[in-house]
Amino acid sequence: MSPRPETLAVHNADTDSTSGAIVPPISLSTTFEYETTGEDHPPDQLIYTRWQNPNRAALEATLARLEGGAVAHAVSSGSAAMLTIFQALRPGDHIVSSDDMYFGIRVQLNEFFAPWGLETTYVDMSDLSAVRAAMRPTTKLVILESPTNPLIRLADIATIAEIAHEAGAALLVDNTVATPVAQHPIALGADIVVMSLTKYIAGHHDVLGGAIIFAEDDELAERVMRLVRIGGGVLSPMNCWLAARGLQSLSYRVRAHSENALQVACFLAEHPKIERVLYPHHPSHPQNDLALRQMSLGSGLMSILVSGGRQAAIDLVNRLELFTSATSFGGTHSLIEHRESIEEGSSTPANLLRVSIGLEHPADLIADLQQALA
């Protein structure tokens, strides 16, 4: 029997062999006893917690199975996950990247890795001819987010995977917004999936973490493993335990986030003070057909463009009562943020608000928006 994702997520660790506890203990030990044989240690042997830890091993195994990958690594943040991938490349290598992506990754590429010799070409991933034209003999990696943060643009993962592979490059997909519940990049041809565990995976605004999942345990996966273990940017046992706990309810939370978000999007799309709603499963989204084909759920993240410009958007944030003005998304609480204010070198529209729909009752969220827009 091949368990479905909901079952895999619940049974993400063995019963504790010592106590019989069905909730695994948190293993805070930094070092582990092992037999001295004079031989090389097996790669999965517990020696030192930077190398491996029971909580991290259980989380990584579950993430790999949920994404349909061969191997996963849990690291200290989503940004650290991307940083590690870039470190695994070589000076002179070329990257083709989406021109709409989390701003911190652009900072990494432009400020840290360009002087080191890593070249990046930014393209609109919805323009497949532009993606093809950007490929070079030295292109090693194509990077995309789908949906993107914060403009909620989609990319045709399967077609871009074909373009990347024809050029001898690997495709990396940031699956943070969609999660393995709503979208399966590896099944669509992606070679690497990166996620911020901080968002939907942990799901309660109390964990900082990231994950890298490889479709195959290949040479690049081996280099990343060495960087994680030798560099030490691993996820702590406590955060591994919390993320694994969050995984158990992930499928049901993402369904609720998505149902709530669609109701809120439908309300906002009809409001005269909202210029535009960007939500993949709303019919007004320009890539709605692709969203319905590629994503089984719309997730809980959307952006809205407020009529009246920058100040009108800021005023709306300050009139809301249930929505909290805060960074991040994917947790139980609904959050709202004026993105241009916090992004370095932002090209985000000044009247854009990023909205993370939480697990409150959607009627209450709509009522709060209604009073704030009145």
Q: Give the whole-angstrom CA distance, residue 196 versus residue 79.
A: 8
Specify whether the CB–CB gap between 233 and 75 falls below 8 A.
yes
16 an active-site residue? no
Q: For the chain, 374 residues long, give each residue's pLDDT as a single digit of tens.
A: 678 888 888 887 776 767 788 888 999 999 999 888 888 777 778 889 998 999 999 999 999 999 999 999 999 999 999 999 999 999 999 999 999 988 899 999 999 999 999 999 999 999 999 999 999 999 999 999 999 999 999 999 999 999 999 999 999 999 999 999 999 999 999 999 999 999 999 999 999 999 999 999 999 999 999 999 999 999 999 999 999 999 999 999 999 999 999 999 999 999 999 999 999 999 999 999 999 999 999 999 999 999 999 999 999 999 999 999 999 999 999 999 999 998 877 788 999 999 999 999 999 999 999 999 99
**Set 56, 100, 102, 200: catalytic member:** 102
- For residue 264, what are its two tokens? 């809120």
Q: Give the whole-angstrom CA distance, residue 202 versus residue 62.
A: 13
What is the pLDDT at residue 109? 97
359: nearest Cα among 246, 272, 236, 259: 259
- For residue 307, what are its two tokens? 């009529």
136 an active-site residue? no
Half-sphere exposure of 65 (CA within 13 A, CB side): 19
- Cα distance between the two ends of the chain: 54
109-129 burial string, b = 16+ CB within 10 Å, else e?
beeebeeeebbbbbbebbebe
Helices (H), the chain: 5-10, 54-67, 78-88, 103-107, 128-134, 157-166, 179-182, 219-231, 237-248, 250-269, 288-294, 310-319, 362-373
What is the pLDDT at residue 15? 67
Phi-psi region of 330 (alpha: psi -120 to 50; beta: other; left: phi over 0): left
293 an active-site residue? no
- Cα dist. 372→249, 333, 338, 339, 349 in Å? 32, 18, 15, 19, 21
Q: Give the whole-angstrom CA distance, residue 338 versus residue 366.
A: 19
Specify whether the CB–CB gap between 125 and 170 falls below 8 A.
no
**Set 93, 156, 174, 191: catalytic member:** 174
Residues near 230 by Cβ (< 8 Å), separated by ≥ 6? Answer: none
**Set 56, 106, 153, 199: catalytic member:** 199
Q: Give the whole-angstrom CA distance, residue 51 versus residue 343.
A: 34
50 an active-site residue? yes
Q: Give the whole-angstrom CA distance, residue 260 versus residue 368.
A: 14
Specify whether the CB–CB gap between 117 and 131 falls below 8 A.
no
Q: Give the whole-angstrom CA distance, residue 334 versus residue 356.
A: 5
236: nearest Cα among 30, 47, 84: 30
What is the pLDDT at residue 1? 62
Specify whether the CB–CB gap between 305 and 274 falls below 8 A.
yes
